[in-house]
Amino acid sequence: MNKVVSNRLLANNIHAIEVEAPLIARSRKPGNFVILRVGDKGERIPLTIADADVEKGTITLVVQKVGASSAKIVSLQPGDMVTDLVGPLGQNTHISKVGTVLALAGGLGAAPLLPIVKGFKEAGNRVLTVLAARNKDLLILREELGAYSDELLIMTDDGSEGKKGVVTVGGEEFINREKVDLAIAIGPAIMMKFAAQMTKKYDIPTICSLNTIMVDGTGMCGACRVTVGGETKFTCVDGPEFDGHAIDFDELLNRLGAYKEEECKLPVK
């Protein structure tokens, strides 16, 4: 059982939840995720660690309310308990000094991207960040990303804030202006698909972090399998980050929908 320390509303339906987990806070690295479960009948949900405070012994998770399980998580108040929390899981992001890094965040993807942006900045890279969302109410972690980026470009689909357009438009603006050595794209699968297609045109190595369906998160179930470069990989033990140019995004998109019909049958609370 892990105690919830704070629950902060970041944007419409998106919450930052800080949970006591001293051991995970100490051992986690950028790119890692946890699995958590709320309630005895709860589902095991994988969530990327957005931030950690070693001294306070806490980790921060960013959660968007989309279904019954996430609704339960975002309703947790300070003092409430998370039934089960395990981690850190997944391979660490390989952070090194590469030169200029282009970070592309789509919606909720800003949360897993934050520790990676921070890591690359601290490793001495020039970091250019594009933060994109459907509209201004869905933009999150703008200040935090801004603090570790040399430049931060805001994009919204409807133009309600920053420039009007999708994340790839913002990315190309940077690429056309200066040499980019590495791109990292994190967001919905469809956004990463287009981001990877765009960077491929310019031959820029690209990392994507996948948020697949998982049960145990430790390699046991294989629900998270994804085809990368023609080979089946397990997102939980081989990922969650893969070469964006080698991921079979169409298969991934299909697999993400595997339990949709079933999800609809869940009791509505």
Partner 1 sequence: MSKEKYTEMRNQPWRDELRKAVPMKERTAGERVKMNEVDPAERIKSQLLEVNLGLTPEQAQAEAKRCMDCANHPCINGCPVGIDIPTFVKQIEKGEFGKAANTLREYSSLPAVCGRVCPQEKQCEAQCTYHKMKKEPVAIGYLERFAADYAIKNPGECPKPEKKPANGIKIAAIGAGPTSLAFAGDMAKLGYDVTVFEALHEIGGVLKYGIPEFRLPNSIVDSELKAMEELGVKFVTNFLVGRTATLEQLSEEHGFKAFYVGSGAGLPRFMNIPGENLNGVMSSNEYLTRVNLMGAGSEDSETPVLRGNTVMVVGGGNTAMDSVRTAKRLGAERAIIVYRRSREEMPARLEEVHHAEQEGIEFMTLHNPIEYIGTEKGRVRAVRLQKMELGEPDASGRRKPVPIKDAIVELPIDLAVVAVGVSPNPLLLRTLKGVELSKWGTIVVNEETNQSSDPDIFAGGDIVRGGATVILAMGDGRKAAASMDEYLRKKYNLD
Question: Contact positions toward partner 1, by CB under 8 A?
Answer: 23-24, 27, 37, 39, 41-44, 68-69, 83-89, 215-216, 218-223, 225-227, 232, 234, 237, 251, 254-255, 257-259, 262-263, 265-267
Please identify, using beta-carbon distances, which residue of 88 and 109 lies nearer to partner 1.
88
Residue 264 tokens read as: 């609809």
Cis peptide before 240 (omega within 30 of 0): yes
**Between 147 and 253, whose beta carbon lies closer to partner 1?**
253
**Which amino acid is located at 89 in the chain?**
L
What SS3 state is found at 200? helix
Residue 93 has phi, psi (to 5 degrees) of -65, 135
Omega cis (within 30) before 88 = yes
Cβ proximity to partner 1: between 9 and 258 the closer is 258
Looking at the Cβ atoms of 86 and 169, the one nearer to partner 1 is 86
- Rounded to the nearest whole angstrom, what is the least distance from the CB of residue 153 to partner 1 in the complex? 35
Contact 103, 130 (CB under 8 A): yes
Q: Which is nearer to partner 1, 137 or 216 (CB)?
A: 216
Instruction: Please report how close the Cβ of residue 250 comes to partner 1 at its closest, in angstroms.
Output: 9
Q: How far is the CB of 226 from partner 1 (least distance, A)?
A: 8
Q: Shortest Cβ distance from residue 222 to partner 1 (Å)?
A: 4
3-state secondary structure 20-89: ECHHHHHHCCCCCEEEEECCCCCCCEEEEEEEEECCCCEEEEEEECCCHHHHHHHCCCCCCEECEEEEEE
CB of 111 to partner 1, least distance (A): 20
